[in-house]
Structure 1
Amino acid sequence: MKYKLIALDVDGTLINDDHELTPRVKQAVTAAAAAGSEIVLCTGRGSASALSVLAQLGLSGTVITHNGASIVDGESREILQESPIGADEIDRYLALCRERGIHFDLNTAFDIYVEQLNDQTASMYARMLSEPILRSREDRYPERTVKISLFAPKEDLDELEGHWQEWQHELQTIRSGDYFIDLQHREASKGTALKQWAEKRGIPREQVLAIGNYFNDVGMLEYAGYGVAMDNSPPEVKAVADAVTASNNEDGVALVLEACLAGVSTISR
């Protein structure tokens, strides 16, 4: 296997739009692991959710979570690295969310805190294999918060991003899906975390494969020796990738890994 480290995004990449890990994708990922590749989930999800997906694959190992704001050892659940944000950096973002009725959550490496839940948001967390903890607005912010996630209709978030263009930002704002915006440390990214992990493992960039589908994946696609975008990616994401595979509903990840295992340099769609 040419690639010693394989970084896989989860939503929109590894799993399909029904939030399923298909048998073909699972088979390809486990075959790549058996061939000697280290599989690292590199996701915007929290650590508990990412480790649940890793368990579905029948694998253990390291996960890069919260868009690179935390790196966690799957077996010991030790937080190997994290990029917390300060309470003074959070206030005005949450004030604007409350004013506009935009749902948000506060994330530590393993836990998710929310001020309210309804049927729609509860269903969203269930799909993400997450169990949010209810908190009061008057409570102190959770210690070692690494990310704030906003969840709202696409048009509401589009308008919010337009409004934010006038701001001087203390935090990085990144679109992680049509219905999600993540706020995190300005230096945290999937690309930075993947680079740090590869260097720690002594794996050269040329032996790193990354597969993703959205704007929060751009950094890791650019860093990897071979970066592959899903067909369901926005055009801007495809533009930075070395190749484009089939969509997440067409087992695109499996196509890439099967080609690599066969020693084929191009993806057959």
Structure 2
Amino acid sequence: MNYKLIALDVDGTLLNDDHVLSSGTAEVIKMIADQGTEFVLCTGRAPVNSIPYMKQIGLEGYVITHNGAATVNVTTEEIVHEFALNPFGLDPYMDYCRKNNIHFDVNTTFAIYVEGVAGLSQEALDMYHKFMMEPEDLPGWADFSEPIVKFTVTGSMEQMDKVYSDWSQWEQEFNMLRSGDFFIDLMHKDSSKGSALQKLAAVRGIPAEQVMAIGNYYNDLTMLTFAGLGVAMDNSPLEVKAAADNVTASNNEEGVKLALQKYCLS
């Protein structure tokens, strides 16, 4: 199959556990792109910390960010599509977080906001800086000039298990995603990597059977099942592997490179 659009998750997929993109993987991606295939990073990250990887490889095109909530042009940083959520619906979730001492942040496409930036722990600041993010003080809803696309909570795996269990019992107006062992995201009900990838493929005139997707976590399920070929990393949970068409090596073993060589160069 000649795949015309390839969607790659970033953390746990494209990058190894040290958040490094291997030179071998970058070379194979560029080789395939030079043959006319489009690549799109499809990630829970924001544009500011995903576009640099596209530029590092030498790619133009698009990034699907915030787990599908915002699609952005790499070159112009123009927002192609956003799934804006209702911020007032977040109030009970924020109250829960304050009561249970759970860290949360609020995201527009290009900015991230937290309560009391000045009082953030060094650990929290280090986490944001590791992902190339600089948080700003959270204003009131009426003071936002850009749509809110994602609400994220973070903590230990045990804390996130408890939060997910509690919130699963609520009547949901949002799409609630376990986007990592230590993260839970709330987004617009229609927002997902799969729906954003489907919209991008339609705009580019590419049928699903000519789309390939590679990912490693629950937030990748919708894009893995939409794509004509969905490939899970070996470091994926069993449910993700079961939903994929094939499984490649782990992110620490250049699984993306191996999958691309197998399905796009052989």
TM-score range, shorter chain: over 0.9
1:204-219 → structure 2 map (5 Å cutoff): 204-219=207-222
Q: Output one character per residue of 1:126-171: Cα deviation in whole Å (capped at 9) or x when no partner.
A: 22122222335x5746330000111100100101111123211121
Question: Tell me, which stretches of 5 or more residues in structure 1 are unaligned?
Answer: 264-269
- Alignment: residue pair count: 262
Identity %: 49
Does residue 226 (structure 1) correspond to residue 229 (structure 2)? The answer is yes
Residues 191 and 141 of structure 1: CA distance in aligned 2, closer, same or farther (over 3 Å): farther
Counterpart of 1:146 in 2: which secondary structure? Answer: strand
What is the deviation of 1:200?
0.7
Greater shift after overlay, 51-60 or 175-184?
A: 51-60
Q: Structure 1 residue aligned with 2:131, among 128, 132, 139? A: 128
Distance (whole Å) between structure 2 residues aligned to residue 182 and residue 124 of structure 1: 16
Counterpart of 2:71 in 1: which secondary structure? Answer: strand
Q: Is the 8 A contact 1:52 1:129 kept in 2?
A: no
What is the deviation of 1:28?
1.4
Residues 139 and 227 of structure 1: CA distance in aligned 2, closer, same or farther (over 3 Å): closer
Q: Output one character per residue of 1:83-121: Cα deviation in whole Å (capped at 9) or x when no partner.
A: 111122110111111111111111111111111322112
2:109 matched to which residue of 1? 109
1:82-161 → structure 2 map (5 Å cutoff): 82-115=82-115, 116=117, 117-135=120-138, 140=142, 142=144, 143-161=146-164
Distance (whole Å) between structure 1 residues aligned to residue 53 and residue 4 of structure 2: 21
1:33 matched to which residue of 2? 33
Q: Is the 8 A contact 1:19 1:127 kept in 2?
A: no
Distance (whole Å) between structure 2 residues aligned to residue 203 and residue 139 of structure 1: 38
Distance (whole Å) between structure 2 residues aligned to residue 260 and residue 149 of structure 1: 35
Q: Is the 8 A contact 2:32 2:265 kept in 1?
A: no
Question: Tell me, which stretches of 5 or more residues in structure 2 are unaligned?
Answer: none
Distance (whole Å) between structure 2 residues aligned to residue 150 and residue 7 of structure 1: 25
Q: Structure 1 residue aligned with 2:177, among 150, 168, 174? A: 174
Distance (whole Å) between structure 2 residues aligned to residue 198 and residue 262 of structure 1: 22
Q: Output one character per residue of 1:212-268: Cα deviation in whole Å (capped at 9) or x when no partner.
A: 0000000000000000000010001001000000000000000011113432xxxxx
Distance (whole Å) between structure 2 residues aligned to residue 165 and residue 131 of structure 1: 30
Q: Is the 8 A contact 2:3 2:264 kept in 1?
A: no
Counterpart of 2:148 in 1: which secondary structure? Answer: coil
Counterpart of 1:30 in 2: which secondary structure? Answer: helix
TM-score, reference length from structure 2: 0.95
Q: Is the 8 A contact 1:114 1:133 kept in 2?
A: yes
TM-score, reference length from structure 1: 0.94
Distance (whole Å) between structure 2 residues aligned to residue 194 and residue 110 of structure 1: 19
1:9 matched to which residue of 2? 9
1:223 is aligned with what amino acid?
Answer: F
Distance (whole Å) between structure 1 residues aligned to residue 5 and residue 168 of structure 2: 36
Which segments of structure 1 move beyond 4 Å, counting only runs of 4 or more?
138-141
What is the deviation of 1:58?
2.1
What is the deviation of 1:55?
1.7
Distance (whole Å) between structure 1 residues aligned to residue 265 and residue 77 of structure 2: 34
1:58-97 → structure 2 map (5 Å cutoff): 58-97=58-97
Distance (whole Å) between structure 2 residues aligned to residue 30 and residue 76 of structure 1: 20
2:52 matched to which residue of 1? 52
Q: Is the 8 A contact 2:8 2:40 kept in 1?
A: yes
2:261 matched to which residue of 1? 258
Distance (whole Å) between structure 1 residues aligned to residue 168 and residue 62 of structure 2: 35
